[in-house]
A and B are shown apart, each in its own frame.
Chain A
Amino acid sequence: MNEVAVRLRVNGRDVTASVAARRSLADFLREDLGLTGTHVGCEHGVCGACTVLVDGRTARSCLLLAAQLEGAEVTTVEGLTPAGGLSVLQGAFRECHALQCGFCTAGMLATAHELLAENPAPTRQDIRDAIAGNLCMCTGYVNIVRAIELAARRLRESTAERP
């Protein structure tokens, strides 16, 4: 299997690697970089668990080949986590009980992050539209919608913070 050299930034750090051409970004993050916060739920791009941010936009890391990411900036849940605490979104997820098993959470956070970066005051319908590509098998989505609403409100009230 042929190897491809790739240089990219992951969570603000430069990464240079030689990867198998067929290695997915998800496997690259999890197995080569040890960033196991990104979860793989279906490997066919439907469940959204593996969603990460690529150049600030959400993408399924199971549908990207690591070799494609030359020059890209990838952000995973590890990169969305502030040192020594929870982000506004993470805190809202905890307070609203927006996760049970936690397997979908990293992808939900990436999706919510993109939403709030573009739309600081989403309606419940906006939120449901945004997260419709992320399956959660535990929560029935109710508390996830509440959490994103809460985070949006907090971010509006304190413009300094990131989602």
Chain B
Amino acid sequence: MRARSLDEALASLDGDGKILAGGQSLVPMLNMRLVRPARLVDINAVPGLDAVRARPDGGLDVGALVRHTDLLTSPLVQARAPLLAAAAAHVGHRAIRNRGTVGGSLAHADPAAELPAALLALDAGVVVAGRAGHRRLPLAELFVGLLTTALAPDEILTGIEIPEARAAGWGFAELARRAGDFAIAGVAAVVRGGPDRCTGARLVAFGADDRPVRLRAAEDAIVGRAPSAELAARAAVEAPRDCRPSSDVHASAEYRAHLVRVLAEDAVRDAVGRLAA
């Protein structure tokens, strides 16, 4: 069913309904008969969910239906959250990015996906609509497990709120078997501070656990220290501590843990480099 308004969409989400946004993850599962919802609620026509807007605090509001391609081309995203654009560039290929949505990526909660990790590094929150009204939720609370979120079946993720991060340094690194594939592992980094001292750090690994995870030990190694390539290397050593990677057909847990270290170094080096600049 094609919802024309949020209320209509919410009203349709009773029982075994499933939200269809970009469909780039859901439709393959439908085609393979891996999911079989009684009802699909297409929210693409719901107005007001497809815009990127500046927040007065210097941050960004990103509608759930904003497509990956729009993140790449939006001057606002480039100016206020370039990390998000960098992450979006790694999502699939152009035809996928043209359809896939930010909200869909978060709601699907693939632990190897780029956008959830980048947004978690940016300390973003989500706005969730339910029949009782709206609620806000930090991203760390949205992801509760493998392909699982804290969204109730009758709720819709409508937007993402990204706090101001214009002065922060950022870095993004991943290794995938092929360009456009889900990463074997990757790291998104946001470091705050100045050329003399890092005052804050949020490092997030993806493809390294059942959800995107903060690398807190590595963050602790950064905060309070002067930004440098050596700092990146030192912090990276701590990176694998906070993730529990699993093994699959593309890589073992051990290799993923190694990659988290290597990629954390790359991401942090870029982030502190941008901070210093």
Q: Do chains A and B touch in the complex (CB under 8 A)?
A: yes
Asked if A65 contacts B94 (CB within 8 A), the reply is: no
Asked if B31 contacts A58 (CB within 8 A), the reply is: no
Task: Compute how far the CA of A24 lies from the CA of B27 in the bound complex, rounded to whole angstroms.
Answer: 9
Q: Which residue on B lies nearest to A58, using beta carbons?
A: B95
| Neighbour of B179 across the interface among A22, A60, A132, CB < 8 A | A132
| Neighbour of A68 across the interface among B23, B31, B98, B180, CB < 8 A | B23
Is A76 engaged at the interface, CB distance under 8 Å to the other chain? no
Expressed in whole angstroms, the minimum distance between the Cβ of A8 and any Cβ of chain B is 12
Expressed in whole angstroms, the minimum distance between the Cβ of B75 and any Cβ of chain A is 16
Expressed in whole angstroms, the minimum distance between the Cβ of A24 and any Cβ of chain B is 7
Is B92 engaged at the interface, CB distance under 8 Å to the other chain? yes
Binds B, one of A29-37, A43-51, A86-94, A95-103: A43-51
Asked if A68 contacts B24 (CB within 8 A), the reply is: no
Contacts of B96 in A (CB 8 A): 45, 60, 133
Knowing A21-B40, A45-B96, A58-B94 are in contact, say whether A68-B28 is a contact too (CB < 8 A): no
Task: Compute how far the CA of A100 lies from the CA of B19 in the bound complex, rounded to whole angstroms.
Answer: 40
| Neighbour of B95 across the interface among A24, A60, A68, CB < 8 A | A60
Contacts of B180 in A (CB 8 A): 132-133
Asked if B98 contacts A64 (CB within 8 A), the reply is: no
Knowing A22-B30, A45-B27 are in contact, say whether A67-B98 is a contact too (CB < 8 A): no
Knowing A68-B2, A68-B44, A132-B180 are in contact, say whether A44-B95 is a contact too (CB < 8 A): no
Most buried by A among B28, B32, B95: B95
Asked if A65 contacts B23 (CB within 8 A), the reply is: yes
Contacts of A51 in B (CB 8 A): 95
Knowing A68-B20, A68-B23, A133-B92 are in contact, say whether A62-B31 is a contact too (CB < 8 A): yes
8 Å CB contacts to A: which residues of B81-105? 92-96, 98-99
Taking A44-B31, A68-B44, A70-B2 as known contacts, 9 extra A-B pairs with beta carbons closer than 8 A to each other, sorted by chain A number, are: A4-B2, A45-B24, A45-B96, A58-B95, A60-B95, A60-B96, A63-B24, A65-B27, A133-B95
Task: Compute how far the CA of A44 lies from the CA of B178 in the bound complex, rounded to whole angstroms.
Answer: 17
**What's the interface size class on A, roughly?**
20 to 34
Task: Compute how far the CA of A22 lies from the CA of B20 in the bound complex, rounded to whole angstroms.
Answer: 12
Is A57 engaged at the interface, CB distance under 8 Å to the other chain? yes
Asked if A114 contacts B28 (CB within 8 A), the reply is: no
Expressed in whole angstroms, the minimum distance between the Cβ of A71 and any Cβ of chain B is 8
18 residue pairs of the A-B complex, CB under 8 angstroms, read A43-B31, A43-B32, A44-B28, A45-B28, A45-B96, A51-B95, A57-B95, A57-B98, A59-B95, A63-B23, A63-B24, A64-B27, A65-B20, A65-B27, A114-B94, A130-B94, A132-B93, A133-B95
Is A105 engaged at the interface, CB distance under 8 Å to the other chain? no
Contacts of B27 in A (CB 8 A): 24, 45, 62-65
Expressed in whole angstroms, the minimum distance between the Cβ of B237 and any Cβ of chain A is 34
Listed from nearest, the 10 A-B pairs whose CB atoms lie closest are A133-B93, A44-B28, A58-B95, A57-B98, A63-B27, A43-B31, A51-B95, A45-B28, A59-B99, A60-B95
Q: Which residue on B lies nearest to A21, using beta carbons?
A: B40
Knowing A4-B2, A45-B27, A65-B40 are in contact, say whether A59-B98 is a contact too (CB < 8 A): yes
| Neighbour of A44 across the interface among B2, B20, B32, B42, CB < 8 A | B32
Contacts of A63 in B (CB 8 A): 23-24, 27-28, 99
